[in-house]
Structure formats: structure tokens, C-alpha cells
Amino acid sequence: MFTYQVWSPVERTAPPLTSYPTVDMMVTVVQEPLDILKRTLVGCLHQEYPADRFRVYVLDDGHRDEVRGLADELGCVYVRRPNRPLHAKDGNINHAQAQSNGELLAIFDVDHVPATSFLMETVGFFHGSAVAFVQTPHHRYNPDIFQQNLRLS
């Protein structure tokens, strides 16, 4: 199955942007280390996209004051839901989505640091009514098993 998927990969480029819809970038966090969260938030905040057209949300399901402090320090919107066990990560995202008003949502795990071109390279796919979801490659901070075993990280 892997060979079939990578045999003939499709390279797609987004249409050029003619307008800049508002985007809410949401980073989910529970008990992960603050240094990993900070890298992801810095990546989100430094987008090559009009600064007044996106906001970064920290969705803290760990209920940690130090996460709130980091979000405040960086200028992110901090969201803590009252009923953490309910529906796990999906419940966390749904709770935050009810408090946001962006035209588009970008959802990141705590170890998914977006490239500065992320919004410019993905938002264009949403022009027109045929696209509702865009999946991008994942580039994690954590080394994969080969990098770890070969000490290449």
C-alpha cells in the first residue's frame, strides 16, 4: 500500500490569493512540554499572511497556568474548557470553535510547527465551493524512529 501511495505523488499548488479570509489557527495541548508548545506557537504567529487576518488559539486541556502565561506572553487567545474529559481532543476543538469567528480553521497538534508559508500555501485551495477540507504533510519536531536510532535528529 505504501508503494502504491508514493509511486506517483500528486503535486498541487493553491490558486493565487485574491482575498485573505480570516483564519483561526488552533493548537491543542494537554500535558506536553512548554518548549514544544512555544515552537509551534511561534511558527503559527510568524505567517507570511496579513497579521490582521489570522489569530492563534491555544486550546489547553491540561488546565495549566503556565500555558495561559505563555499564550498571554505571545499574544495568543487562550481557551480552557470546563469539562475536559468530554470527547477528548474533539471536545476541546468543538469548545474553542464555538468561541472563534474565523472564516477558516487550521488545527495543529502541539508538535506540528507550521512553516511561515503555511497559510499562503493552503488558504487558496478554499476559493470556490468544492473544497471543505485540506490535509497537508506533517513535519513534526519529534524525530522519527529512523532519525532517533541513527542519531540524526
Quick: pLDDT tens for 18-46.
Answer: 899 999 999 999 999 999 999 999 999 99
Position 110 in a domain: yes
Judged on CB neighbours under 10 Å (0-12, 13-18, 19+), 107 is middle
Position 132 in a domain: yes
**pLDDT tens digits, one per residue of 97-122:** 999 999 999 999 998 899 999 999 99
Q: How confident is the model at residue 80 (pLDDT cuts 50, 70, 90)?
A: very high
Position 8 in a domain: no
Position 50 in a domain: yes
Position 3 in a domain: no
Predicted local distance difference test score (pLDDT) of residue 127:
84
Nearest to 54 by CA among 116, 133, 138, 130: 116
Q: How confident is the model at residue 133 (pLDDT cuts 50, 70, 90)?
A: confident
Predicted local distance difference test score (pLDDT) of residue 109:
92
SS3 133: coil
E strand or H helix that includes residue 111 = none
The pTM score is 0.82
**Number of neighbouring beta carbons within 10 Å of residue 32:** 15
Range of the domain at 132: 21-149
Position 10 in a domain: no
Position 141 in a domain: yes
**Number of neighbouring beta carbons within 10 Å of residue 112:** 20
Percent of the chain residues past pLDDT 90, beyond the cut: 55
Work out how many domains the chain is built from and give that number: 1
Predicted local distance difference test score (pLDDT) of residue 66:
97
CATH code for the domain of 35? 3.90.550.10
Position 2 in a domain: no
Predicted local distance difference test score (pLDDT) of residue 140:
55
